[in-house]
Amino acid sequence: MISYPKKGDKEMFYDAKTETASSEQLENLQWQKMIGMLKKVYESNLFYRRKFNEHGVTPDDINDLGDIIKLPFTSKQDFQRDQDNNPVFGTNLTEAFENYVQFHQTTGTTGKPLRWLDTKESWAWRARCQAHALTAAGITNKDILLLPFNFGPYTAFWGIYEAAQHLDILTIPTGGWTTEQRIHCLIENKATLIAGTPTYMLRIAEAAQEIGVDLASSYVRALILAGEPGAMIPAVREKLEKAWGARVFEYPGLTETGTYAFMCSHNNQALHIIESEFIVEILDPQTGRGVPDGGVGELVLTNLGRTCSPAIRYRTGDLVKRVRKSCGCGRTLSQLDGGVLGRKDEMLIVRGVNIFPRAVGNIVEEFLEFGNEYQIIAYRRDGTDDLEVQVEINPSSDNMDQIIAAEIKSRLNLRIKIDSVPKGTFVRSHYKGKRFIDKRKQACNTD
């Protein structure tokens, strides 16, 4: 049974003071945290001291929040190069090595995997950021959270586990189990929450249908999604909400930065930025200049509570749109409208039209039958980009390929080849779906 907030319901905050602060109060807080972090980092973090020195800047040159623009950007390649040159953990370590207690690494989707170390304090900070997300979804210690994944070196779901522990929520680990065992476990133990990627949540729903279990009548009332976009793609959200009879919430995060935003229960089309812990800049990817609120630009993050291995002016490559407007939840934190809109390196120019594969995928999702998958393939032929979509279409769905092609033409003004393939063509993932294959880089890929 899906429950939406009603008038008079008391909103739950993890930290009401910062979540409802005025912009002046937030900026003061950010300034205090930022200058403290910069001083400590400059003193004992080799990676950033070298970077700042090369850029000719020290914390003494930073006199207010706006001075952040005097600091150099950091890219993933900077961290990768540092770890290559200074094996194995690199030099982005502010504290003595013996203080680090957590090891994680990135998936390597966009390059060589990065190793990341945390201290007890920074690990607790990460859990607190995540706790903002769980609390904003209306989750309390009366809930029971099922974790349908293995605990590996990727951070994506560790944060949920740690936040759940921090908030005294009962958690059920099901690592190493089959999907069917997990379904029986969540029914028998009356789990009220489940966390995972949208891809795997759909896979569980499909598997439940196959064994005759109606998840919509289970106790699960919320899905906590991470790892890939889903809750803000209308067709995916509808499929998940219908199959599970539960609300879906999403939070974005990066190994390098932590969880920086979350969805509240009043607006499923935007994410609140945790501005008490992050400074967010939205920049023109080409010029590096600031983009005004409401404009699309690259998300650049500075985290304020992970001094031991910080990310300062970190260029995420994700494109977002920041808006400042009131929200029914009462939070004053600014919002990323539509969440992460795409990646700057995925943009294509197809016959003169600028296009993100995700925009095509969102349309395909509307026509995709439950349990079916698709793939978008980008090519470069004779110096120009082109796209092709392969969609699993059931034999009974006459002309579906043409219907999808017509819809894409009408909405994006682009003629794209749609190939119909049989159900089961694409590998089913328990983690992230691989829906975009970029063959443009094959000749020059250095990953």
Give the binding site for Zn ion (CB under 5 A): 264, 266, 327, 329, 331
Question: Exposed, middle or buried, 19 (CB in 10 Å: 0-12/13-18/19+)?
Answer: buried
Measure the CA dihedral 78/85/303/346, to 10°. Answer: 40
For residue 87, give every residue at least 6 positions away whose Cβ sits within 8 Å of its Cβ, in sequence order, or none: none
Task: Indicate the residue among 147 and 274 with the shorter CB distance to Zn ion.
Answer: 274
Task: Indicate the residue among 158 and 251 with the shorter CB distance to Zn ion.
Answer: 251
To Zn ion, the closest distance from the beta carbon of 332 in angstroms equals 10
To Zn ion, the closest distance from the beta carbon of 264 in angstroms equals 3
Please work out, in degrees rounded to the nearest 5, the angle formed at the alpha carbon of residue 241 by the alpha carbons of 235 and 247: 120
Token pair listed for 415: 């003629």
To Zn ion, the closest distance from the beta carbon of 225 in angstroms equals 17
Q: CA 60, CA 1: separation in Å to the nearest integer? A: 56
To Zn ion, the closest distance from the beta carbon of 266 in angstroms equals 5
To Zn ion, the closest distance from the beta carbon of 331 in angstroms equals 5
E-strand ranges in 154-289 read 170-173, 193-196, 222-225, 247-250, 253-254, 258-259, 261-262, 270-273, 278-283
Task: Indicate the residue among 7 and 289 with the shorter CB distance to Zn ion.
Answer: 7
Please work out, in degrees rounded to the nearest 5, the angle formed at the alpha carbon of residue 33 by the alpha carbons of 272 and 301: 45
To Zn ion, the closest distance from the beta carbon of 125 in angstroms equals 22
Residue type, 26: L
Task: Indicate the residue among 115 and 266 with the shorter CB distance to Zn ion.
Answer: 266
Q: CA 103, CA 146: separation in Å to the nearest integer? A: 24
Strand order in the sheet with 384-392: 417-421, 384-392, 374-381, 436-438
Task: Indicate the residue among 266 and 434 with the shorter CB distance to Zn ion.
Answer: 266
User: Which CA distances in Å does 394 have to 94, 203, 207, 401?
Assistant: 55, 17, 18, 11
Task: Indicate the residue among 114 and 263 with the shorter CB distance to Zn ion.
Answer: 263
Task: Indicate the residue among 137 and 205 with the shorter CB distance to Zn ion.
Answer: 137
To Zn ion, the closest distance from the beta carbon of 48 in angstroms equals 34
